[in-house]
Amino acid sequence: MSDETKPKTEDSWLELAKTVIYAGAIALVIRTFIFQPFNIPSASMEATLLVGDYLFVEKFSYGYSRYTFPFGAGPVGPALQGRFPDFKPARGDVIVFKFPRDNSTDFIKRLIGLPGDRIQMHDGILYINDKVVPKIRVEDYVETVDGIENRVPQFRETLPNGKSYLTLDHEPYNPGDNTGVYTVPAGHYFMMGDNRDNSDDSRMGVGYVPADNLEGKALFRFFSVDGSAHWWEVWRWPLAIRYSRLFTLID
């Protein structure tokens, strides 16, 4: 290698390293402060969200807290508690949050109860502040389990602010269909899954979710696969993609 070629090669590697560092820094800023990708690992939000859905979460919807940062590694200390700015979520938002008892785990549920609300389930009917949340029967949700088609009763529920969404009722006598009254503490929220009989939420182990634990609002799906193909089965990818769910908004 000539003396002229060596410096040029070193300059090329230096430029490549700078490009990689800049790209990584930009990606980290976007993920921390703007949008974060998230995939759905469980059926607790069916039929709104399916296992295999990939979506973007808007990180600035409710302001920022320590949990906005990757691994909850944001600034801490008495003067840095809370959210900044403190934008309030709306009832019915689909939200990604840190599990209160294990902040290394992300959950995604729908916001049902605001601070001070009284929440109760009675005979499968949701009550907010002692008032019935209307729901109407719609077409059955059709799911396939182990190759067998199963029809699940589906309802459209409408919250007091007009937010409307679909819920599932797999079991008419599920323990979660009848609860005591939950009074949501100040600075906390009450979350529920749309798949009411298959969701660990504020009625159960999740409990009340502190405002600081909110990571962001789920906005839209950018990708979805049905699980019929492994990552290495490239030839099966076209049949595994749920094309109708690509780039769709989340209700």
Q: Which of 226, 222, 214, 216 is nearest to 249 (CA)?
A: 222
59 a catalytic residue:
no
Candidate list 44, 61, 199, 224, residue with the active-site label: 44
CA dist 192 and 70 (Å) reads: 24
18 a catalytic residue:
no
8 Å CB contact between 49 and 110: no
Within the chain, what is the greatest distance between any pair of CA atoms?
84
Q: Residues with Cβ < 8 Å from 2, sequence gap 6 or more?
A: none
8 Å CB contact between 91 and 214: no
Candidate list 59, 98, 109, 217, residue with the active-site label: 109
Write out the two tokens for 227.
């699980």
Q: Which positions are annotated as active-site residues?
A: 44, 109
